[in-house]
Amino acid sequence: MNFYNKAIALISALIVCSFIAPAQEAKLPTQWTNTAMQAGIPLSEYPRPQLQRNDWLCLNSHWDYRGGKDAPNALNPETPASFESKPDKILVPYCPESVLSGVQRKQEINMWYRRSFEVPAKWQNKQVIIHFGAVDHDATIFVNGKKAGSHSGGYDSFSFNISPYLKKGSNTIIVAAQDLNDGKTPSGKNGPRGDYTFSSGIWQTVWLEPVSKSYIKNIRLLPDPEGKRLKVFVNAVGAGKIKAVALNNGQDVSQVSAVGGSYFYLPIDNPVLWSPEAPFLYDLKLTLYNADGSEADEVKSYFGMRDIKLGKLNGVIRPLINGKFIMQLGLLDQGYWPDGILTAPTEEALKFDIEYTKKAGYNLIRKHMKTEPQRFYYWADKMGLLVWQDMPAIWYQNEDTTQNRKVYRQELKAIIDDHYNSPSIITWVPFNENWGAFDVKNITNWVKQYDPSRLVNGNSGFNNNPDYQKPYGDPGNGDYVDTHIYVGPYGASVPDGHRAASLGEFGGVGLFVRGHMWPVHNNAYDYEPTKARLTDRYVFLLDEVEQLMKYKGLSVAIYTQTTDVEHEVNGVLTYDRAVEKMDIERVREVNQAVIKEGDKLNK
């Protein structure tokens, strides 16, 4: 947090106590709940590590709020709603259904947010961009009463240049958000056929940053370890030359000059490779110059030199990372929180699940049915955790197909664009268990063509199917033959002539932990009565996974799941992250043993 943000945080902390109602009681608090509730500026870390500038202003804080059944329609309004009557207060960026927000309603449809801010004096003569990490689902932004722009999509970031609407002194921003949550837009487990608490409105960081008239809008990075180079695209507003510098621990290792708006290559001699065992990251500095040679903009980024592709190992099709088979052994990670729902309460909480996963000896997570803030992927990149990224499902793909399917395709592309640069993401998963599935074969091909640098699992668990639709089944293309087996793992898929075999979900064995469960009827696929018995069961399941890997060609196994989630008690951690439900040393030992046996197949 820069000095300006620190000052605002202190002022906010002093002011908020004068108007905030007593905090609501969390059904199941985490160790971070109170910290989040008391923060003047929650989640104040720089939100975009792969395109970072020094100067910025976090707008997370208490905002005025209008919601509930009497809130005005918030779908693409032309004028902002009135806040004349005494509004509620909401703690942004937590959704209004969460206890951390201070609102905690069951489901919000029309939401209106308002707050004031002053542009720092040193930003004079700069363009001011407002950024939103994510708003579910349709958002319209007003600045000083003027409409600055609209965005549709609940899981991708967006921004607007609000400079034309600013004035000296205090400025007011109003955000209108509508989320019907009717299953006709991508919503994952958050939709009407999902299992968990709804989540609506602003749910990731809101922030401002100053830029020059010419600036770097976004970048695309593609590592090419075999070619000893990094492919770079810089999308710049305004013409100008680009200088790109790669650094290893602060030392320049490569430098090129180029122009914005076209691809260029940055040579990386003797590249240090990124892998789960050694997640080395190069720093990247990009500078944009004006026509007169003066500096217009500079951003900092990073990249990892790794590739992933299919190849044959001892006659078996397997995924190869940097030319080597690594048994992908991981957890289904849903990213839900009892206090923040889709939003981790603090940065420490956001890191916690990744740290635990690594500590327990896994090398992979499947991020299930949601996306995370950019900082989540930064920590996965930095700690060396492989990621399969799901696309959140739609639920009624056969209703109004011209509109609903178009929305799905647009938001799938936006999510890929948002997270394209993270080396940790190695596989895209467009569909899961036929939920909302349509045109699976063509969409799988499209994703593969749009991002040929990663693998694609078109319909994970195609052997399962929701009861409200006919199964789409195995698309026959993509990079994986993927089945879900509960409890499993026997019955898992085997590789075919052109695809590797994946067990996209298995396990799901539950344990009740009194005092650490969501207050509903809890369930799992199967149960064990004690921590010791559950650990024994897990070790046995992993021994079976090892057999499938060595003798049946299995390359991926994803256990359900990282934490309990509301009624589900089959996590390796309780929902509040307070209790480890298995003996972590034994879990780590067997996980690492399976991965090491996989490594032996390379010899």
Residue-by-residue DSSP string for 220-274: EEEEETTTTEEEEEEEEES--EEEEEEEETTEEEEEEEEETTSEEEEE-SSPPBB
* Structure-token pair, residue 443: 């969409």
Confidence bin at 13 (pLDDT 50/70/90): very low
**Structure confidence at residue 285 (pLDDT):** 98
- Answer yes or no: is pLDDT of 14 > 80: no
- Taking only the tens place, the pLDDT of each residue in 40-93 is 999 999 999 999 999 999 999 999 999 999 999 999 999 999 998 888 999 999
* Structure-token pair, residue 457: 């699992």
Q: Which residue has the tokens 């064990």?
A: 528
**Structure confidence at residue 192 (pLDDT):** 79
- Answer yes or no: is pLDDT of 153 > 60: yes
Confidence bin at 511 (pLDDT 50/70/90): very high
Tell me how far CA of residue 144 lies from CA of 162, 167, 170, 172, in angstroms. Answer: 10, 8, 9, 5
* Structure-token pair, residue 178: 């509508």
**Structure confidence at residue 470 (pLDDT):** 80
The amino acid at 124: Q
DSSP string for residues in 334-394:
---BTTTBTS-SSHHHHHHHHHHHHHTT--EEEE-S----HHHHHHHHHHT-EEEEEPPPP
**Structure confidence at residue 79 (pLDDT):** 97
Confidence bin at 18 (pLDDT 50/70/90): very low
- Answer yes or no: is pLDDT of 9 > 50: no
Q: Read off the pLDDT of each residue in 423-445 and give the average, rounded to a whole number.
A: 97
Cα distance between residue 92 and residue 101, in whole Å: 7
- Cβ proximity of 477 and 443 under 8 Å: no
**Structure confidence at residue 78 (pLDDT):** 97
Inter-axis angle of helices 440-450 and 401-419, to 10 degrees?
A: 30
Cα distance between residue 598 and residue 596, in whole Å: 5
**Structure confidence at residue 24 (pLDDT):** 77
Cα distance between residue 603 and residue 599, in whole Å: 8
Confidence bin at 2 (pLDDT 50/70/90): low
- Answer yes or no: is pLDDT of 20 > 60: no
User: What is the percent of the chain with per-residue pLDDT over 70, rounded to a whole number?
Assistant: 96
* Structure-token pair, residue 351: 């890191």
**Structure confidence at residue 183 (pLDDT):** 92
In this structure, of 371-375, 400-404, 471-475, the range with the lowest mean pLDDT score is 471-475
- Answer yes or no: is pLDDT of 1 > 50: no
Whole-number average pLDDT of the chain? 94
Q: Read off the pLDDT of each residue in 294-315 and give the average, rounded to a whole number.
A: 97
**Structure confidence at residue 467 (pLDDT):** 81
**Structure confidence at residue 327 (pLDDT):** 98
Cα distance between residue 419 and residue 50, in whole Å: 10
**Structure confidence at residue 12 (pLDDT):** 44
Cα distance between residue 477 and residue 230, in whole Å: 29
H helix or E strand, kind and range, residue 3 = helix 3-16
- Cβ proximity of 359 and 367 under 8 Å: no
Tell me how far CA of residue 323 lies from CA of 385, 416, 478, in angstroms. Answer: 18, 24, 19
- Taking only the tens place, the pLDDT of each residue in 312-371 is 999 999 999 999 999 999 999 999 999 999 999 999 999 999 999 999 999 999 999 999
**Structure confidence at residue 23 (pLDDT):** 53
